[in-house]
Amino acid sequence: MLPPPPSLTPSRPPGPGVSARFAHLVDASPAGGGVTLALARTRDGDEDGLEIVLEASSPSPATRLGLLLDPVGDGESFFEIALEGGDRIAQVVFRRSPGGYKRDWRWQCDGLEWKAEPPGHLRLTLPFRGLGSTPPHDGWRANFFSLPPGEPPAAWSPTGWNTLYQPDRFGFLRLG
């Protein structure tokens, strides 16, 4: 039996020009690798969002690194933003259908900024407006992952399956 999904409340950056506080939150793969996550809620004028830094413990240009967000928390649809091939970002929304989840590649997160640094390192600035939702007081369902080639996925909130797309196993990101 899997443990309950984790819960996290991101810190606010300590001041202008100072980056987010970092926290090592997961070492989730069977081989002892995983993904390191740093997270902060940001406010820049009227813009509210998240700053997210992900780092794979087995860095490689082929490692897929990203996040899954279910802003409503009902599992009916969720967003994925992932670094692929070390130099491009995939953005997709998954919508539940009778035969499983269908991918919609037309979605683009409005205002998303990203930077891929050395292999296996991704920095995202994600405005809430890009998800069409401001977080409710109790937060969002989320998961953060690393998928090295030929290895099982490593995730902040392990799904118990060899797939990341289990929104009922996403952790809770408290943004209140």
Chain segment 116-142, per-residue pLDDT in tens: 877 778 888 888 888 877 666 567 888
Query: What's residue 76's pLDDT?
Result: 92
Domain borders along the chain are: 20-173
Confidence of residue 175 (pLDDT cuts 50, 70, 90): low
Annotate the chain with three-state secondary structure. CCCCCCEECCECCCCCCCCCCEECCCCCCCCCCCEEEEEEEEEECCEEEEEEEEEECCCCCCCEEEEEEECCCCCCEEEEEEEECCCEEEEEEEEEECCEEEEECCCCCCCCEEEECCCCEEEEEEEHHHHCCCCCCCCEEEEEEEECCCCCCEECCCCCCCCCCCHHHCEEECCC
Q: For the full predicted model, state whether its pTM sits above 0.85.
A: no
Chain segment 26-74, per-residue pLDDT in tens: 333 333 346 677 676 776 666 778 888 888 877 787 888 899 999 888 8
How distant, in Å, are the alpha carbons of 79, 112, 115, 148 from that of 129?
13, 10, 20, 31
Top CATH class of 20-173 equals: mainly beta
